Chain A
Amino acid sequence: MNDMRIVKRDVDMNDIKISAKDVQVYYGDTHAIKDVNVEIKDKTVTAFIGPSGCGKSTFLRCLNRMNDTIDICRVTGKIEIEGEDIYDKRVDPVQLRAKVGMVFQKPNPFPKSIYDNIAYGPRIHGLARSKADLDDIVEKSLRRGAIWNEVKDRLHAPGTGLSGGQQQRLCIARAIATEPEVLLMDEPCSALDPIATAQVEELIDELRENFSVVIVTHSMQQAARVSQKTAFFHLGNLVEYGETGQIFTNPQDPRTESYITGRIG
């Protein structure tokens, strides 16, 4: 743990972006998430840490209703994004997901060209009025995804032909292209080598300027490096939530302490 660069970060008094109250998630008979209350701030990187199976990915997927695609999954409680209940009947999950982008554990570029991968979201949401507009969005997204220089000469080559790290940055660029307000990342670096991980982490730090980023990670070093706020999940409970520096240096709950010192998990 001594290689962690825990620096005091200036967490301003940002607005609350997402607030979850008494969230319960059931997979069939399994109670996967129990009474989770959390408030996630805007323009902040929030990390979810915890041992495997603790529910952090499940909770993340609640935030853009990706769990709707799983038949046996049931969510109760209230999750609000900017004061709007996303589980309200009037909310269309499709519109919600355009607002809350997601990057997955395994890079999953579509079997299309790099250009079409990025243009996919803007096209279906009608964000571009002309071809030039779309070209603009693609270039801007690829630049923000920190991959423009590597792919600008082969925009029409298949996205599946890139390396793993490039694919993941492509997927991040693809998620940003739809101009979401929140970016959810489900272990975005677990399939990447250290160099690609460093690039993606740097990227996450830059994304903080424009988005609220929630990242699930297995690596505590990563959580410490990229996040301002950290939530520790254990067995479906949110055990502790607070500023990253505090969680890692002065945890309040004994379970958090055991986990970050490597005794459980």
Chain B
Amino acid sequence: MPALWLFITVLVLGLAGFILGRARVMKDADGDIRKLHSLPNYYGSNVMLSAIIPSLGLLVLWLIVQPMIIQANVASHIPTENYADSGALNLLMSDVRRVADGLDIAVSQGALTPHAAQNLTGTDDVRGILGRLGVALGTDVEDDILTAAQEYRIKSNIGGWIMTVAVIAAAILGFAMALKVTNKDHRARNSVEKVVLALLIGAASLAVLTTVGIVFSLIFNTIEFFKLYPAADFFFGTTWAPSFGGGSELGILPLFWGTFYISIISLLVAVPIGLFAAVYLSEYAGPKTRGIAKPLLEVLAGIPTIVYGLFALLTVGPLLVGMFGKDGSFGVNWMQGGSAVITAGLVMGVMLIPFISSLSDDIINSVPQSMRDGSLGLGATKSETIKQVILPAALPGIVGAILLAASRAIGETMIVVLGAGAAARLSMNPFEAMTTVTTRIVSQLTGDADFSSPEALVAFALGMTLFVITLCLNIVALVIVRKYREQYD
């Protein structure tokens, strides 16, 4: 039975369990809810959950484990001289699966009888038969692949039947056991709430586990890269010149410099403006202005970064060239094209303003009113109070906000793709095009490079470096913010 049908069967069983469990307990209590330990629905849910959870768990486990076992089994049919390493074996095995699936389709559509499908040999035109059914194969099917595919079909078939029986048995068993203990004194609510608790814990751990998964996938590929390319050259090389023919120079420094330079410019734009905006909003603006201005400012944070990228490419870049370029209004000819560090930096700065202003505004607001009173009561003016009492008191939190914004700037991709150009160079001139770590990750992975070449794998090393840097920044930011919070609570 296919997994979908099995799934539906189990659900139907669960639903029946709900109705039966509820009915049984009501009968046990002679229809008087007050005699029950829990509300009737809990008894129904309890039976339903004990029917569904173990059987669906088994189903999922089986669907994951069975192909792995069968694959390992079938792989032994392919002679070892046909493949060089595990990557090549994987390619062969995916051929095997395609052939096996194709044969299944052929049988189900009547192009082949089950018997004929089992007795195909390498001399038959398997590729042709499957091609007519819409299953395209790259090459003619060789004998050992075909044998393996047949083996695969048989084993999957048997496995499928055992799975069906096992899952339904598990569902019925859970159903029966839960129904048996259902009586008016059974603590159904407690068990249902345990399930809910497990669900909540599962949801919470999923995000954490995903992070761990991301880190591991980065780590393995990074290790792979460092096997092919010396780490010292990667971290200290000053040239970034990937060539897909081999012999690339993959030094991170020019990329890192680009990232760093653009981030600095963006922060130089965003920090003062954001901070001033925050001071105005929290200290000077009346409730009406604040009610309008703050959401408006936060709308900026909701604009997709690709839109900022377009803005950089189409508006800010040409505008800057018109000012600093050849025949520009300043007559300085500093800028050759619209894509430059300064273009991306300015636009990214605008993107970061709402971050800094909104976070700082919250932090400034959380400085206790008694600080303001104390300072005003001593005859300080409003601006003296802000400069000398409120901002110093809020400083740790503001620094945290700035660091969070910095880690956004470092990880930002679309604005630099469109605004900063693609040339990797180490230069101090902000009017020159440069490139960043993130854009190089995109271009290294979207190219035609062999996935096991250092030119493609370098993307993971770059990603890992970026991840570590932003992680450190975030941790520092969080520590600072937390330390600050402790001061007033």
Using a CB–CB distance below 8 Å, which chain A residues touch chain B?
64, 66, 69, 71, 94-99, 101-104, 106, 108-112, 120-121, 124-125, 160, 171, 174-175, 178
Contact = CB atoms under 8 A, between A and B. Distances in A.
B136 interface: no
B372 interface: yes
B374 A69 contact: no
A175 B378 CA distance: 6
Given A69-B372, A97-B380, A109-B374, 12 more contacts: A64-B377, A69-B373, A71-B286, A102-B373, A104-B370, A104-B377, A108-B371, A111-B393, A112-B392, A121-B378, A124-B388, A174-B378
Contacts of A125: 379
DSSP class of B's interface residues: helix, strand, loop or mixed? helix
B384 A124 contact: yes
B31 interface: no
Given A110-B371, A110-B389, A111-B392, A101 B377 contact: yes
Contact of B374 (A98, A110, A124): A110
Interface in B284-318: 286-287
Contacts of A175: 377-378
B373 A108 contact: yes
Nearest to A64: B377
Given A66-B373, A71-B286, A124-B384, A97 B379 contact: yes
A120 B373 contact: no
Nearest to B367: A111
Contacts, number: 74
A112 B389 CA distance: 9
Contacts of B210: none
A102 B286 CA distance: 26
Contacts of B376: 66, 69, 97
A62 to B, nearest CB: 13
B243 interface: no
B430 to A, nearest CB: 37
Question: Which of under 10, 10 to 19, 20 to 34, or 35 or more describes the interface residues of B?
Answer: 20 to 34
A160 B392 contact: no
A110 B393 contact: yes
Contact of A108 (B368, B380, B381, B392): B368
Contacts of A71: 286-287
A66 B487 CA distance: 26
A120 B388 CA distance: 9
Contacts of A120: 375, 378, 380, 388-389
Contacts of A96: 379
Contacts of B373: 66, 69, 102, 104, 108
Nearest to A160: B487
| Top 3 A-B residue pairs of the complex, sorted by shortest distance between their CB atoms | A98-B379, A102-B377, A108-B370
Given A110-B393, A111-B393, A178 B379 contact: yes
Contacts of A69: 372-373, 376
A175 B376 CA distance: 11
